[in-house]
Amino acid sequence: LLGHTLDAKYRLESQLGIGGMGTVYRARHLLIDRPVAVKVLNPRFVEDEAARTRFQREARAAGRLQHTNAVTVTDFGQTQDGYVYIVMELLEGRTLREILAKEAPLDAARSVSIMLQVAAAVAAAHEAGIIHRDLKPANIFIVQRTEVPAIVKVLDFGIAKLAAESLEEDDIKSLTQVGAMI
C-alpha cells in the first residue's frame, strides 16, 4: 500500500511494522501536512465481521483514552475500496522489546520509571472502562527525545475489553469466546 492515499487524507509513506491484525505505516495527513501513524486492517480480515468488530473496538478503546502514556488515536475509517484503518500519533523511538534485546538488564531507576508510566496508562485505561489484555514489551513504546526524560506509550488495544456497562448487548457477547486462549 506504499504511496496509496486513504480517503484523500492519509498518504502511506513507509511501513513501520506488521502485527496480527494489520500493518502500521508512517503516513502524512495531507490536509494539515502532519506525519501520523496509520494501522490498516489486513485485507484477509476485511470480510471477517468479528475481525472488523475487534478492529473497531481497538479504535474506540484507544480513542477513549486521553493520557500521556497511551497512544493517541485521532481518526478511524473505511475507504470506498474496502480498507479499514486507524490513525494515531506518530511515535519516534523503540519498543521495550527492542530495548531489552539490546540493553538488558536495565538499571533499577530506568525500570521503575518505565513501569510507573505503564502503570499510569493502565490505570487510566481502567478508569475509562478498558482492560488492555495484551500488555507485553512489544506493546510498550519508549519515546526518547534529547533533553527530556523518556516518555512511555502503551500501544495496541487490539484485544482490549471494554467494561460491560459501556457496550451494547451484542458487543458484550462477542468480547470473548469459549475455548479461546488469550
| CA-based nearest residue to 34, from 11, 64, 67, 8 | 11
Catalytically active residues, by annotation: 134
State the amino acid at position 135 in one-letter form.
L
Distances (CA, A) of 49 to 36, 46, 61: 27, 7, 18
Could you please report the per-residue DSSP string of 10-70? EEEEEEEEE-SSEEEEEEEETTTTEEEEEEEE-GGGTT-HHHHHHHHHHHHHHHH---TTB
Which SS3 state, helix, strand or coil, does residue 100 take? helix
